Each structure stands twice: as C-alpha cells, then as structure tokens.
Chains A and B, each alone.
Chain A
C-alpha cells in the first residue's frame, strides 16, 4: 500500500496570507491528484499532475509535482475565506488504484 502523508494536518490563517501544504510519499506515483472537500460534500478534483517537476496553476493555486514523482505541494496566494476546506492528495497508477492522504484542513478567517 502506497502511503501518502499530508502536512500540516490543520492550518488556520487570515485572509490575504499565503500558504503551502505538502503531500509526501516514499513511493513513486504515475500521477497525483489534488481535491478540495467542503463540509457535507464529496471531494472535487482540482488538478492532476503526471510529469516530474510539473507545475500547474489554477487562479491563485499553484501545484507542483516533485522531480522524483514522490511528493507534491499546493501553494495558495492571497488566501480567501472561500478557500476554506479539506485539501486531499491522491496518487496511483489508475483511478482504481488511487489512494488518498488524510488531508490538510484549511481555515481562512476574514
């Protein structure tokens, strides 16, 4: 079983601050996905990264896949209250093999 560790587990910041959350593993992943989950809802896919060193941007969110494809980071610039949620990373060869980390619970205070 490929273990994904996410850090920090909890993060509480003020609106306008920048933050980075991490997803690490000792295993190499063919692809890695980031999801955001809001209370009472299922996770929603934000991005998929497949190439080592790949950087993808989604508005104020920047995702990076490590060169060795064992780790990834999510950086949020000028966080807003709407960014509040549980951020999950998931890695695997195929969707059926995707395994999820425990997530980082982000709270952005106005």
Chain B
C-alpha cells in the first residue's frame, strides 16, 4: 500500500477483555515497530521486527502484551486481559532497514480505550 495502515482506528473495550491491533506496513519494508503513546507522554517503544530475525521484545510492559508478524508483512499486537492503564494510542511504523539515516513511516494509530 501507499502507507502504513493500522486497524481499527478506534477500539473501546471493557477491562479484562483481549484486543488485537493490526498493522500493515509499507510493501518491501523489512523492519516493523510498535510504539505506545499515552497522553502527555512520548512514544514508548514496545517491540521491533526485522525480517526473519527474532523480535526485540524488550519494550513490552508485561506478559499480557504480545505481537507477531506473519510472512514478514502484517503484524498483530495482542493485549490480553486489558487494564485501564493500557488506554493509549498504539502506533505502528515501518522502515526499509534499521540504519540511523533511514526513515520511520508511521501509521495513524489505534486509539484504545479501556473502560
């Protein structure tokens, strides 16, 4: 596609429910990133995928969070047993590689609200 696509754009869920957030990166981009943006906070790194390498999960805040990337393209971020503090905008980004001068291309995000 022309850009990074995320769905849904908005998600309202009840505390304790599981949610799945989807990211479709730019075609040909081997690197994919998930970030969380809470109100008044910067972007918090969650997880990074590069090709077929093992993902860097160092930013996942708890074992309720997991992500996968199928076929080196689409990625799904899953949050189990959601809590109110999980409410935030979840942003996905992709890049050709992970070198410093590469560009990160972001999707428009999924606004998650946990009631």
Contact = CB atoms under 8 A, between A and B. Distances in A.
Contact of B42 (A45, A95, A96, A101): A101
A42 B94 CA distance: 12
B48 A30 contact: no
Contacts, number: 65
Interface residues of A, number: 25
Interface residues of B, number: 28
Interface string A64-107: 00000000000000000000000010101111101111110000
B4 A95 contact: no
Contacts of B97: 95
Contact of A93 (B95, B100, B104): B100
A42 B93 contact: yes
Nearest to B93: A42
Interface of A: 4, 30-31, 33, 40-45, 48, 50, 88, 90, 92-96, 98-103
